[in-house]
């Protein structure tokens, strides 16, 4: 029997995160202050993030030590296994070996604690007492709730009202970990009250929830804001995934031909791929692919431009692939991939042709996910189904080209609390959806006057 | 930093299950035919189970090989990690080291696939085309659905109506794995139709669902029945848990003073403990403790007697601790522990004083579970909370006695699809519940005329 599973001993777990800024052939464009149009300064961000995380955000140091208290919490679920998907390979009947890094065994079921744990730690170390954040589907909110509880921080999560009502399990997770979960829009903030005055029955949006969380944090000197994707320091923390995977593949003497991840804000994709992009920069042959939904095709159809990270235009202007900050994606069932923008690092790598992007329709992704569950067991999160669809696509190409290929991908999380989406698919309620071009053009008008990167 | 996590390489995973029948100082009493009062014969069971599993049920062979196709599927989530709960230890502030075997990372989130996979395999090997089973909370039904899908068997699950309506996530899991899930009582069987004629709005019960599944299987020569706990062969398959744990503890040179598991039908408890009971039989010092709910105190308050395994009296008479086959437990939130009987093997070991049993109230168990989630991360299944309460109890005793103790327990599953129970607890809707003695005496009347073991 071939080796199906590779563990890493605790003592072999990487002790540093990898910062790709140190290796970029062309440096990234800076975020801009929306008022002045000038590069943002560290002190501009001080009311929002603690200074130790701001330092990580702008650091150019290649390796950054993982603090001992963070390692201790990582050990609750890390190192995660690297697994070979032989049963799925048989189904695909293509000349491919498929390895995946399984991030679904963490307490909330996804890769999110890889950054919620260090973020809670650094905030605590900086003397912060409370974190505020927003959550859409609830994966990020639950991961941050757990981390705050472990480091003795209070946690307040603004959850998009429609998800709060439809996804009771996620908010119950947050409550179990001791966080306060508030449906957004709420009467706790000016931003929320303003919306409620106009639309008392507003279902909320991620944009509104972000505005509420930032306003909440900025208004309390003991509180800061926390974000679960997009930013450089978030992607940095996630590199633990790819660094572990490299060590595990080294153990069995294998190097992948293709590395893939699904991309919403970009954090799990960057987590698995940045250490390989580093190799690629240094001359190694490896293909790196980001999979996104065709209903929110940020990388494949959005331009690289300066744009706000939120709908309410309270963040700095970020250089990224964007569909425009007032883009409203269709209500597809992969909440974690419904974001108008993309991490500046990932966007930059796509611009530099170090990363390729592909978009997949929800029918393709659920078909891939169901086939996965029926062969490999674990029911994937709807987000994860996108990378599985991309793997199916790679296998098909390998079969057509008659070329053997070793595939590595990040299995970002399980779907046990997202089963309503599977229900919709199995009962035929999901339909193929191609985003009309005029929809994108309309949304992009919102960034027409912004500086160009 | 002390070693927090011990993995086992694939190549070190045990290749055989352990059968305690070979080591029992006093042999077990046989199951009886309810009609004749004589020991049941293999052929009596043939319409219900395939002959290869019946052979395992009655086998006295110490070690039984795990077939290669079963090993291959085990590798999807096994070997499971052995972990040290340092954060929970700190909270307890007692002289204990706590190790746990984490069974929550399997695809359906519990230890159940350890037996659903071999059961599906052996049925397939015997030429069976379809399995019928019942499920209460849904853990067993989902685990069997997955295994049947993997071996190309059809699967029909009779799910207690009230759970079918209240726990949509479990039945969606079954649908995703391709099984047919039918609310019970149903119009598919005589047993179901009889109940429906009398009580059209019946919420169902495990007893009714078992009767429906057996009737369904027995009426179709291509189908058999499958049970997720209680029987000898089920406990045999679960010994993979304890066998792995022993190897892992050997790796770090540690032997436990106490081994614990929660017990409903007895399968996960037996899984972790039988290999240690074997040591105990051969003279080793080790305490073995089963934790059960005080609302369904089979081992602590039920007599050892011959009784039916189901309410409808269709099974053989089993020698076991029982509260009487028409005992109706309070609707506590640990569905997997609401069974009137107990595995004959576990019952026998309690009789032989090789195993101790303790009962815990739901308030104690949820308090323990929340404290676990807030220190160790994973939110435990309500069933698992019972063993955590027992661990807290052991730690308290160690502190009082000023005695150092090494604890090992089986973490049977996570609670991500059981969060409604946490909601009830956190919002103060759960109350302490002591089962009145007359309730037990009343239920025990149903077995008054049966043979005595």
The string of DSSP codes covering B84-107 is E-HHHHHHHTSSEEEEEEE-TTST
Q: What was the pLDDT predicted at B411?
A: 98
How far apart (Å, rounded) are the C-alpha atoms in residues A401 and A310?
A: 43
Residue of chain B whose Cα is closest to the Cα of A100: B76
Q: What was the pLDDT predicted at A433?
A: 80
Task: Report the residue from B8, B107, B422 with minimal CB separation from A176.
Answer: B422
If one counts every other C-beta atom within 10 angstroms of the C-beta of residue B249, the result is: 18
pLDDT in tens, B9-61: 989 999 999 999 999 999 999 999 999 999 999 999 999 999 999 999 999 99
Q: What was the pLDDT predicted at B1?
A: 53
How far apart (Å, rounded) are the C-alpha atoms in residues A82 and A95?
A: 20
In this structure, are strands B130-135 and B96-102 parallel, antiparallel, or unpaired?
unpaired
Task: Name the DSSP class of B203.
Answer: -
Helix (H) or strand (E) holding B416: none
Helix (H) or strand (E) holding A90: helix A86-92
Using the Cα atoms of residue A354, residue A359, residue A365 and residue A368 in order, give the sign of their dihedral: negative
**Chain B contact set for A9 (CB, 8 A):** 7
* Residues present in chain A in total: 453
Residue A19's Cα: distance from chain center in Å? 17
DSSP for A62-76 reads SEEEPPHHHHHHHTT
Task: Name the DSSP class of B185.
Answer: S
Mutate which of B377, B385, B424, B430 to disrupt the A interface (most A C-beta within 10 Å)? B377
CA dihedral A149, A157, B388, B443 (to 10 degrees): 160
Residue of chain B whose Cα is closest to the Cα of A6: B9
**Chain B contact set for A373 (CB, 8 A):** 107, 146, 176-177
Helix (H, G, I), strand (E, B) or coil at B393: helix
Q: What CATH number does the domain located at B44-65+112-232 have?
A: 3.40.50.1100
Task: Report the residue from A3, A76, A379 with minimal CB separation from B176.
Answer: A379
pLDDT in tens, B357-381: 999 999 999 999 999 999 999 999 9
CA distances from A311 to A134, A146, A164 (A): 13, 27, 20
In this structure, are strands B16-18 and B63-65 parallel, antiparallel, or unpaired?
antiparallel
Residue B65 has pLDDT above 90, yes or no: yes
Say which residues have a Cβ less than 8 Å from residue A119's Cβ, sequence separation at least 6: A53, A131, A144, A147, A226, A233, A234, A237
CB B266 within 8 A of CB B229: yes
Residue B406 has pLDDT above 90, yes or no: yes
Tell me if A379 and B86 make a contact (CB, 8 A cut-off): no
If one counts every other C-beta atom within 10 angstroms of the C-beta of residue A26, the result is: 8
Helix (H) or strand (E) holding A275: helix A267-281
**Would B44-65+112-232 and B68-109+239-447 be classified into the same CATH topology?**
yes
End-to-end CA distance of chain B: 52
Token reading at A254: 């294998």
Helix (H) or strand (E) holding B283: none
Q: Which residues of B63-100 are buried (b: 16+ CB within 10 A; e: fewer)?
A: ebebeebbbbbbbbbbbbbbbbbbbbbebbebebbbbb
Token reading at B206: 């495990």
In this structure, are strands B304-308 and B154-160 parallel, antiparallel, or unpaired?
unpaired
Tell me if A77 and B377 make a contact (CB, 8 A cut-off): yes
Using the Cα atoms of residue A277, residue A278, residue A283 and residue A284 in order, give the sign of their dihedral: negative
Up-side HSE of residue B408: CA atoms within 13 Å toward CB?
28
Residue A245's Cα: distance from chain center in Å? 18
**Chain A contact set for B9 (CB, 8 A):** 7
Q: How far is B151 from chain A (nearest CA, A)?
A: 10
**Chain A contact set for B83 (CB, 8 A):** 76
Tell me if B150 and A87 make a contact (CB, 8 A cut-off): yes
- CA neighbor of A181 nearest in space, from A164, A206, A203: A164
Tell me if A150 and B374 make a contact (CB, 8 A cut-off): yes
Domain ranges of chain B: 44-65+112-232, 68-109+239-447
- CA neighbor of A85 nearest in space, from A399, A325, A314, A392: A392
Residue ranges, chain A, pLDDT below 50: none
Residue of chain A whose Cα is closest to the Cα of B105: A105
Task: Report the residue from B83, B105, B422 with minimal CB separation from A172.
Answer: B422
Task: Report the residue from B5, B73, B370 with minimal CB separation from A176.
Answer: B370
* ipTM (interface pTM): 0.95
**Chain A contact set for B87 (CB, 8 A):** 76, 150
Mutate which of A68, A82, A99, A107 to disrupt the B interface (most B C-beta within 10 Å)? A107
Helix A362-376 and helix A419-426: axis angle, to 10°? 110
Q: What are residue A134's DSSP bridge partners?
A: A158
Tell me if B107 and A377 make a contact (CB, 8 A cut-off): yes
Mutate which of B141, B371, B373, B416 to disrupt the A interface (most A C-beta within 10 Å)? B416
How far apart (Å, rounded) are the C-alpha atoms in residues B143 and B113?
A: 5
Q: What was the pLDDT predicted at B250?
A: 96
Tell me if A422 and B172 make a contact (CB, 8 A cut-off): yes
How far apart (Å, rounded) are the C-alpha atoms in residues B108 and B145?
A: 10
Residue of chain B whose Cα is closest to the Cα of A179: B374
Using the Cα atoms of residue A119, residue A123, residue A124 and residue A130 in order, give the sign of their dihedral: negative
How far apart (Å, rounded) are the C-alpha atoms in residues B258 and B98?
A: 10
CA dihedral B258, B263, B266, B268 (to 10 degrees): -60
pLDDT in tens, A15-55: 999 999 999 999 999 999 999 999 999 999 999 999 999 99
Token reading at B289: 């403790």
Token reading at A337: 């991939």
Token reading at B28: 């077990």
In this structure, are strands B96-102 and B82-84 parallel, antiparallel, or unpaired?
antiparallel
CA distances from A100 to A248, A271, A410, B294, B326 (A): 11, 13, 6, 43, 48
Tell me if B422 and A168 make a contact (CB, 8 A cut-off): no
pLDDT in tens, B243-288: 999 999 999 999 999 999 999 999 999 999 999 999 999 999 999 9
Between B435 and B105, whose confidence is greater? B105
Q: Which residues of B113-130 are buried (b: 16+ CB within 10 A; e: fewer)?
A: bbbbbbbbbbbbeeebeb
**Chain B contact set for A68 (CB, 8 A):** 1
Task: Name the DSSP class of B40.
Answer: P
Q: What was the pLDDT predicted at B67?
A: 98
Say which residues have a Cβ less than 8 Å from residue A400's Cβ, sequence separation at least 6: none
Tell me if A107 and B373 make a contact (CB, 8 A cut-off): yes
Q: How far is A36 from chain B (nearest CA, A)?
A: 44
Helix (H) or strand (E) holding A29: none
How far apart (Å, rounded) are the C-alpha atoms in residues A197 and A202?
A: 10
Q: What was the pLDDT predicted at A434?
A: 77
CA angle A167, A170, A175 (to 5 degrees): 125
Q: Which CATH number fits domain A68-109+239-447: 3.20.20.70, 3.40.50.300, 3.40.50.1100, 2.40.50.140?
A: 3.40.50.1100
Token reading at B128: 């069976």
Token reading at B104: 């929550």
DSSP for B347-386 reads HHHHHTTSSEEEEE-HHHHHHHHHHHHHHH-PPBPHHHHH
- CA neighbor of B259 nearest in space, from B282, B287, B283: B287
Query: Which residue reads 């009830």 in tokens?
Result: B424
Residue B147's Cα: distance from chain center in Å? 17
| Mean confidence (pLDDT) of chain B | 94
pLDDT cut 90: percent of chain B above it: 83
Phi, psi (rounded to 5 degrees) for B444: -70, -20
Q: Average the pLDDT over each of A81-95, A420-434, B152-166, B331-345 and give the range with the smallest value.
A: B331-345
CA distances from A106 to A115, A161, A196, B314 (A): 12, 26, 36, 42
Task: Name the DSSP class of A335.
Answer: G
How far apart (Å, rounded) are the C-alpha atoms in residues A4 and A46?
A: 47
CA dihedral B423, B424, B425, B428 (to 10 degrees): 120
In this structure, are strands B304-308 and B317-321 parallel, antiparallel, or unpaired?
antiparallel
State the count of interchain CB pairs (< 8 A) between A and B.
133
How far apart (Å, rounded) are the C-alpha atoms in residues B422 and B428?
A: 10
pTM: 0.96
Mutate which of B72, B89, B107 to disrupt the A interface (most A C-beta within 10 Å)? B107
Mutate which of B71, B153, B379 to disrupt the A interface (most A C-beta within 10 Å)? B379
């Amino acid at each position: 029997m071939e080796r199906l599973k590779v563990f890493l001993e605790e003592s072999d777990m990487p002790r540093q995160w990898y910062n790709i800024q140190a290796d970029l052939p062309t440096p990234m464009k800076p975020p801009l202050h929306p008022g002045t149009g000038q590069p943002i300064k560290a002190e501009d961000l001080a009311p929002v993030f603690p200074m130790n995380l701001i330092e990580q955000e702008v650091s150019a140091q290649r390796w950054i030590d993982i603090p001992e208290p963070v390692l201790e919490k990582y050990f609750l679920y890390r190192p995660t296994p690297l697994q070979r998907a032989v049963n799925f390979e048989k189904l695909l009947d293509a000349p491919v070996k498929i390895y995946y890094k399984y991030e679904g065994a963490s307490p909330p079921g996804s890769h999110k604690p890889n950054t919620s744990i260090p973020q809670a730690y650094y905030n605590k170390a900086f003397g912060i007492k409370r974190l505020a954040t927003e959550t859409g589907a609830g994966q990020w909110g639950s991961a941050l709730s757990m981390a705050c509880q472990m480091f003795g921080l209070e946690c307040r999560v603004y959850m998009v009202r429609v998800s709060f009502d439809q996804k009771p399990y996620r908010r119950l997770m947050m409550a179990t970990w001791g966080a306060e979960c508030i449906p957004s829009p709420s009467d706790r903030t000016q931003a929320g009250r303003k919306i409620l005055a106009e639309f008392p029955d507003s279902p909320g949006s991620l944009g509104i929830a972000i505005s509420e969380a930032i306003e909440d944090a900025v208004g309390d000197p003991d509180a800061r804001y926390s974000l679960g994707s997009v930013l450089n320091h978030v992607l940095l923390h996630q590199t633990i995934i790819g660094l572990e995977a490299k060590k595990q593949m080294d153990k069995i003497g294998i190097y992948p031909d293709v590395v893939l991840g699904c991309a919403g804000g970009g954090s799990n994709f960057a987590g698995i791929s940045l250490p390989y992009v580093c190799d690629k920069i240094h001359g190694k042959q490896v293909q790196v692919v980001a999979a996104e939904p065709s209903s929110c095709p940020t990388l494949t159809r959005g331009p690289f431009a300066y744009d706000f990270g939120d709908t309410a235009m309270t963040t700095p202007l970020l250089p990224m692939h964007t569909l425009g900050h007032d883009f409203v994606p269709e209500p597809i069932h992969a909440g974690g991939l419904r974001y108008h923008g993309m991490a500046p690092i990932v966007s930059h790598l796509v611009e530099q042709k170090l990363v390729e992007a592909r978009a997949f329709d929800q029918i393709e992704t659920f078909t891939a996910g169901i086939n996965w569950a029926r062969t490999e067991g674990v029911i994937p999160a709807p987000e994860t189904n996108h990378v599985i669809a991309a793997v199916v696509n790679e296998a098909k190409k390998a079969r057509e080209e008659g070329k053997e290929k070793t595939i590595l991908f990040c299995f970002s999380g399980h779907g046990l609390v997202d089963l309503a989406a599977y229900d919709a698919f199995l009962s035929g309620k999901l339909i193929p959806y191609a985003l009309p071009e005029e929809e994108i053009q309309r949304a992009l008008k919102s960034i027409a006057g912004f500086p160009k990167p």
